[in-house]
Amino acid sequence: MLAELGRVTDEPGRLTRTFLSPAMQRANALVGGWMAEAGLRVRVDSIGNLIGRLEANAAPAKTLLLGSHLDTVRDAGKFDGALGVLLPIMVLAELRRRGVKLPFAVEVLGFSEEEGVRFASAYLGSEGYTGRLQPGTLNLRDAKGVSVGDALRKFNGGKFSPPKSAHAGRDLLGYIEVHIEQGPVLGKENLAVGVVSAIAGQSRFKLTWTGRAGHAGTTPMPLRRDALAGAAEFVLAVEKLARGKSGLVATIGELSVSPGAANVIPGEVGHTLEVRHARDPVRHSALVRLGRLAAQIASRRGLQVNWRRTQEHAAVACSPVLTAALDHSVRTAQGRSLALVSGAGHDAVVLSRLTSSAMLFVRCRDGLSHHPREQVAPADLAVALEVIKDFLLRLAAAPSP
């Protein structure tokens, strides 16, 4: 199923599926067919999310949500997102073959947008599903100048307004997302799966260092105000600070130098700064410390440094109850469990605002993802299947789920 879905693409020769694209519609048809075979009632909502619902054996009952995203980055691997949609379908198909009936309803969700490729804005699918799509988002435009609103109007045959949440929080048991780890920790621990304890919060900034451009041959070293030398000192200070604090990651991933010539002293340098940690206070105090360091470097070198915040997401703690239940199932399936922090954002970030959420990470080869060589061993997929099956059966057996 993963291989077949991995061939559904908008670009010949490589896997790319973006929001509302022809390949996304073919993916919905393919996966929707598998959902129907597993006994689910299938629909696509006005945001392009694929939803397969299995009713409880007796009404009234709450609903458990299981899912992930069906869109991909450009030149993607076939596991990121897809695994969290297909694996629950496999589990429900098996329970159906065995004649197991669940006392709660299950909805399997294939979100239409998580990667932020087409409109440089992530989570459109889960925001739509949870009634959190902001009206301003509809004005974002893709590379061809098509707005989110126009794309959604075309998709819905002419009319579109942001939908209400598919569920009230009180009608839900929670949301479980299975996802590849996209990191090296499970591999290092030699474990197939682990349970996510929190999704790291993150802050992004644009920094600008201003000095004075000048002739590289005639300006003596003591008289220079070199913006790049100051920024370079800061880059190493950021690395040192993050290395000294467990779980803290900080990255300067983009940098531009101007005027930008071999014989001109850099007068201005702009760069990004991104900082993540599972606990917001740790991230905040790191940022205060970095602010002081930048100011010290600037003052010592006669530079000016300006900070502009471009993004801020609080950390998301996973539900202790669901996480403990998943943990139990992981120990049953592989003998030992491991709590992991997710450094990357996931649909669970958005779903956690509606309902209790938890995540299961599955080991991927060399921690490689967002890459065509992304790979998960079949034996690890089998462990993940066992965990989700055990989790559902345990929840079904609980006195009042």
In whole angstroms, the minimum distance from the beta carbon of 173 to Zn ion comes to 23
In whole angstroms, the minimum distance from the beta carbon of 196 to Zn ion comes to 13
Instruction: Report the SS3 class of residue 337.
Output: coil
CA separation for the pair 242, 42 (Å, rounded): 46
Which residues lie near Zn ion (CB under 5 A)?
A: 80-81
In whole angstroms, the minimum distance from the beta carbon of 116 to Zn ion comes to 11
Q: CB-wise, 20 or 199, nearer to Zn ion? A: 199
Q: CB-wise, 122 or 231, nearer to Zn ion? A: 122
Any residues with CB less than 8 A from the CB of 205 and at least 6 apart, and which?
A: 272, 273, 274, 307, 308, 309, 310
* Residues 78/9, Cβ–Cβ less than 8 Å: no
In whole angstroms, the minimum distance from the beta carbon of 166 to Zn ion comes to 20
Residues in the chain: 401
CA separation for the pair 174, 84 (Å, rounded): 15
Q: CB-wise, 81 or 194, nearer to Zn ion? A: 81
In whole angstroms, the minimum distance from the beta carbon of 49 to Zn ion comes to 15
CA separation for the pair 227, 264 (Å, rounded): 11
CA separation for the pair 16, 3 (Å, rounded): 14
In whole angstroms, the minimum distance from the beta carbon of 68 to Zn ion comes to 6
CA separation for the pair 394, 386 (Å, rounded): 12
Q: CB-wise, 32 or 81, nearer to Zn ion? A: 81
CA separation for the pair 94, 242 (Å, rounded): 46
* Locus of tokens 């990470």: 361
Q: CB-wise, 113 or 390, nearer to Zn ion? A: 113
Q: CB-wise, 71 or 390, nearer to Zn ion? A: 71
**Rounded to whole angstroms, what are the CA distances from 259 to 221, 227, 269, 301, 307?**
18, 11, 9, 19, 20
Q: CB-wise, 89 or 265, nearer to Zn ion? A: 89
In whole angstroms, the minimum distance from the beta carbon of 140 to Zn ion comes to 20
Q: CB-wise, 80 or 127, nearer to Zn ion? A: 80
Q: CB-wise, 50 or 227, nearer to Zn ion? A: 50
Any residues with CB less than 8 A from the CB of 383 and at least 6 apart, and which?
A: 192, 193, 333, 334, 362
* Residues 122/115, Cβ–Cβ less than 8 Å: yes
* Residues 233/181, Cβ–Cβ less than 8 Å: no
In whole angstroms, the minimum distance from the beta carbon of 69 to Zn ion comes to 6
Closest CA to 48 of 25, 26, 81, 23: 25
In whole angstroms, the minimum distance from the beta carbon of 78 to Zn ion comes to 12
* Locus of tokens 């300067």: 252
